């Protein structure tokens, strides 16, 4: 009887431990698969023509839509760049970009969307019949992205092998009649398990992405790059 119990214990306990470890592994894998991942975005802003610039208005006028009686005094641009710093590729992701005035007294925005750029530009379709943003003076732009690959890594300095991820998607909007700091750009991602966040140097050190960088940034180098460069240009 004693030997039977010993044999039973030798068989049951390893089986229980194996089942427990298998259950734990399944839970961890499921949590990893179901965790929220992010597409990171960056914004570049430029005032091209403005009332504060020293431009001889009696000699130079900007005319929009052939309206000679009301020359444009402000022309600015905002550029959105999107990065995939995660550990996965994605399919059929909807990207919405709201451009709204920061002040309620500003007249409705006039916005011209430029051509789409980035490594996945051929996989992007414009969405139509969009619901307007909550602020009726702004505009909403929508895009269906069929395939999103992970951002490529390119050197930006041969001197010290400094590397930076390249945007997968970028687009520039020209704003007629307003400065860039008078508007707010609000992107949003609609896809299961995926959301958006603003690009920061901390995001580049996440375990999923940093392993693809052969020569990882030091915090000082990356901070200097973020402070002195227009990302993605």
Distance of CA 125 to the CA centre of its chain: 17
CB of 202 closer than 8 Å to CB of 52 = no
Nearest Cα neighbor of 82 from 170, 205, 193, 195 is 170
How many other C-beta atoms lie within 10 A of the C-beta of residue 63?
11
- Secondary structure class of 178 (helix, strand, coil): coil
Tens of pLDDT along the chain (233 residues)?
556 545 545 555 565 555 555 554 444 344 444 568 999 999 999 888 876 666 666 667 788 888 888 888 889 999 999 999 888 999 999 999 999 999 876 788 999 998 888 888 888 999 988 998 989 999 999 999 999 988 887 765 565 556 678 889 999 999 999 999 999 999 999 988 999 999 876 666 555 554 444 444 444 445 545 554 545 44
Nearest Cα neighbor of 85 from 49, 143, 39, 31 is 39
Is this prediction's pTM over 0.85?
Answer: no
């Amino acid at each position: 009887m004693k030997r039977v119990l010993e044999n039973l214990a030798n068989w049951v306990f390893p089986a229980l431990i194996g089942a427990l470890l298998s259950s734990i592994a399944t839970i961890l894998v499921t949590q990893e698969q179901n965790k929220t991942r992010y597409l990171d975005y960056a914004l570049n802003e430029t005032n091209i023509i403005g009332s504060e610039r020293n431009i001889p208005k009696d000699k130079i006028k900007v005319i929009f839509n052939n309206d000679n009686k009301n020359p444009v005094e402000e022309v600015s641009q905002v550029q959105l760049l999107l990065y995939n710093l995660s550990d996965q590729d994605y399919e059929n992701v909807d990207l919405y970009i709201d451009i709204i005035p920061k002040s309620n007294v500003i007249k409705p925005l006039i916005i011209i969307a430029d051509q789409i750029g980035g490594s996945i530009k051929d996989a992007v379709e414009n969405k139509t019949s969009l619901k307007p943003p909550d602020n009726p003076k702004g505009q909403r732009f929508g895009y269906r992205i069929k395939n999103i690959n992970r951002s490529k890594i390119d050197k930006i300095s041969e001197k010290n092998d400094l590397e930076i991820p390249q945007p997968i998607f970028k687009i520039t909007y020209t704003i007629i009649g307003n400065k860039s700091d008078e508007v707010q750009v609000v992107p949003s991602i609609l896809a299961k398990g995926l959301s958006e966040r603003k690009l920061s140097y901390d995001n580049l050190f996440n375990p999923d992405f940093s392993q693809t960088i052969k020569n990882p940034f030091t915090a000082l180098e990356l901070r200097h790059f973020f402070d002195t460069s227009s990302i993605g240009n």
